[in-house]
Chains A and B, each alone.
Chain A
Amino acid sequence: MDEPVIDRAVYAELRDTTGAEFLGELVDTFIEEGPGMLAELRGACADGNAERFRRAAHSLKTNGNTFGALKLAARARELELKGPDAESARDAAALATLEAEYARAVAELKALRNG
């Protein structure tokens, strides 16, 4: 069976410890902040700035883990550990995968919040 986009146990624990209303706000914040982090990652990649690249990937990894978006977190962690490629074009595929994973996570988080 495929790994779920959002790990329900992680999400449920987060809701239980912080409260449903707060979790809704937290999800909204992630949805607001996510595009900025992805843009930062792309920008750092284009500039070949390893420090910014690593930090942006690290942020996405941490947030992914927080919400139980484990696949998103795993992709981000790979980038964090690897750092930007000397040829930025070579990171394009990895970034596209990460963005797709982010979009899936956001869609499911929205559904969970409203459900």
Chain B
Amino acid sequence: MAEDSSRLLIADDNKVNRLLLSRGVELLGHRFALAENGRIALEKLRSEPFDLLLLDIEMPELDGFAVLEQLKADLHLRDVPVIVTSSVEGLDNIVRCINLGAEDYLPKPVNAVLLKARIDASLEKKRMRDRQKAMVRRFATPEVADDLLQSDFALGGKRIHASVLFSDIRGFTALLESQGPEETIDLLNTYYMLMFDAIGSHGGVVSQIMGDGLMALFGAPLPLDDCAGSAVAAALEMVELIEQFNLERSAVKKAAIRIGIGVATGDVVAGYTGTQQRATYTCIGDTVNLASRLEAHTKVAGHGILIDDATRRALGSSVPMQALGEVLFKGKAAAVEIFAVAAAQPD
């Protein structure tokens, strides 16, 4: 995070320019590497991390415009800030750089004071973006996080077919009373780490955490080929991870924890809700309510994982399950068929 830890790549075909820019960068306390043309610059960017690219336009083999185009199309490199340093003729060429995603344009010969200001500003912006990314990644897989960042967190929803998963810890209130707050937070942290692993590894994204409960989405914001199958696979892995965790707990004479999971599949309205200052990716609709009811019903049914009929139909016969008949849930006009997946997990 320290400013002097920044590493810059300087791409310029002219040796005098390379020397001059590297001197400027060095005097600002940054480290640098050099590239003699656009092709070499891209090779270096793809093989080592850089915080900023100082890019010339007129270069043999691959010019600066082509480099900007390739960076823009590269998911891993599109966020590397680029300052174009050139004496290219014509305002249209400068506009073209900016349109291709360059952060800034500095005419050559580059003024040292301007260079410092632009580099500082670009690095600060990058640090902010990196922090934002790190935060999003805590709640989603890298793929989902990239998708979210790419859409720029546009508020507003769309109707999509997805599976919704709710889970929480059975008897958590009693557990709270039997142990200190530090121990509870430790337990929750481990629990969330395990649950996030299971959900993320099956393409899901955790959209909300509420105390000991969480809500995850499969099929949104990124489409999944088999959202129901992925959600149920994640549910099974969650139960399995909790069982392993319980083995560790019993070794230190701690009570086992139990979780209940509900999965429902159908159309949901998903997107960012909130304000520009504080927004969350979530989804709403009957499917969400049903998944929540199913999760709560695991206590009554004595099964760890309950799913609705739409999820069951999507799964086919690949997963063993047991029909539990129809249940009339609060807030629902008609009774719905429910099914238990895999081994029963008694309360």
- A58 touches B (CB below 8 Å): yes
- A80 touches B (CB below 8 Å): yes
In the assembly, what is the distance between CA of A65 and CA of B89, in Å?
A: 14
In the assembly, what is the distance between CA of A33 and CA of B36, in Å?
A: 14
In the assembly, what is the distance between CA of A25 and CA of B19, in Å?
A: 9
User: Contact check: which of A14, A32, A65 meets B108 at CB < 8 Å?
Assistant: A65
State whether A59 and B13 are in contact (beta carbons under 8 Å apart), knowing that A18-B23, A29-B19 are contacts in the complex.
Answer: yes
Determine if B20 and A65 form an interchain contact, defined as CB atoms under 8 angstroms apart: no
In the assembly, what is the distance between CA of A54 and CA of B93, in Å?
A: 15
- B333 touches A (CB below 8 Å): no
- B246 touches A (CB below 8 Å): no
In the assembly, what is the distance between CA of A57 and CA of B229, in Å?
A: 63
User: Contact check: which of B17, B23, B60 meets A63 at CB < 8 Å?
Assistant: B17
- A114 touches B (CB below 8 Å): no
- B15 touches A (CB below 8 Å): yes
What chain B residues lie within 8 Å of A30 (beta carbons)? 16
Separation in Å of the B89 CB from the closest CB of chain A? 6
State whether A61 and B87 are in contact (beta carbons under 8 Å apart), knowing that A18-B23, A55-B60 are contacts in the complex.
Answer: yes
What chain A residues lie within 8 Å of B17 (beta carbons)? 62-63, 66
The 8 closest A-B pairs by CB, nearest first: A17-B112, A66-B109, A62-B87, A58-B58, A59-B14, A63-B16, A18-B23, A62-B108
User: Contact check: which of B15, B59, B87 meets A33 at CB < 8 Å?
Assistant: B15
What are 25 pairs between A and B in contact, CB < 8 Å? A14-B109, A17-B24, A18-B23, A19-B23, A26-B16, A29-B19, A30-B16, A54-B58, A55-B13, A55-B58, A55-B59, A58-B58, A58-B87, A59-B13, A59-B58, A62-B16, A62-B108, A63-B14, A65-B87, A65-B108, A66-B17, A66-B20, A66-B109, A80-B89, A81-B89
In the assembly, what is the distance between CA of A22 and CA of B19, in Å?
A: 9
Proximity bits, A69-99, B CB within 8 Å = 1, else 0: 0000000010011000000000000000000
Separation in Å of the A53 CB from the closest CB of chain B? 12
What chain A residues lie within 8 Å of B108 (beta carbons)? 62, 65-66
Given contacts A55-B13, A55-B59, 8 further A-B contacts (CB under 8 A): A18-B24, A33-B16, A55-B58, A58-B88, A59-B14, A62-B17, A62-B87, A66-B109
Proximity bits, B5-27, A CB within 8 Å = 1, else 0: 00000000111110110011001
What chain A residues lie within 8 Å of B88 (beta carbons)? 58
Closest A residue, CB atoms, query B63? A55
Determine if A22 and B87 form an interchain contact, defined as CB atoms under 8 angstroms apart: no
Proximity bits, A1-17, B CB within 8 Å = 1, else 0: 00000000010001001
In the assembly, what is the distance between CA of A25 and CA of B15, in Å?
A: 11
B contact residues, range: 10 to 19
What chain A residues lie within 8 Å of B60 (beta carbons)? 55
What chain B residues lie within 8 Å of A26 (beta carbons)? 16, 19-20, 23
What chain B residues lie within 8 Å of A10 (beta carbons)? 109
In the assembly, what is the distance between CA of A95 and CA of B335, in Å?
A: 90
Proximity bits, B59-74, A CB within 8 Å = 1, else 0: 1100000000000000
Determine if A18 and B20 form an interchain contact, defined as CB atoms under 8 angstroms apart: yes
Closest B residue, CB atoms, query A17? B112
User: Contact check: which of A32, A55, A62 meets B109 at CB < 8 Å?
Assistant: A62
Closest A residue, CB atoms, query B115? A17
User: Contact check: which of B13, B15, B23, B89 meets A22 at CB < 8 Å?
Assistant: B23
What chain A residues lie within 8 Å of B58 (beta carbons)? 54-55, 58-59
Closest B residue, CB atoms, query A59? B14
What chain A residues lie within 8 Å of B112 (beta carbons)? 17-18
What chain A residues lie within 8 Å of B20 (beta carbons)? 18, 26, 66
In the assembly, what is the distance between CA of A45 and CA of B23, in Å?
A: 33
Most chain A beta-carbon neighbours within 10 Å: one of B19, B23, B58, B59: B58
In the assembly, what is the distance between CA of A10 and CA of B112, in Å?
A: 12
What chain B residues lie within 8 Å of A58 (beta carbons)? 58, 87-88
In the assembly, what is the distance between CA of A99 and CA of B68, in Å?
A: 34
What chain B residues lie within 8 Å of A54 (beta carbons)? 58
Separation in Å of the A63 CB from the closest CB of chain B? 5
Separation in Å of the B38 CB from the closest CB of chain A? 13
Closest A residue, CB atoms, query B86? A62
In the assembly, what is the distance between CA of A49 and CA of B343, in Å?
A: 75
Proximity bits, A29-63, B CB within 8 Å = 1, else 0: 11011000000000000000000001100110111
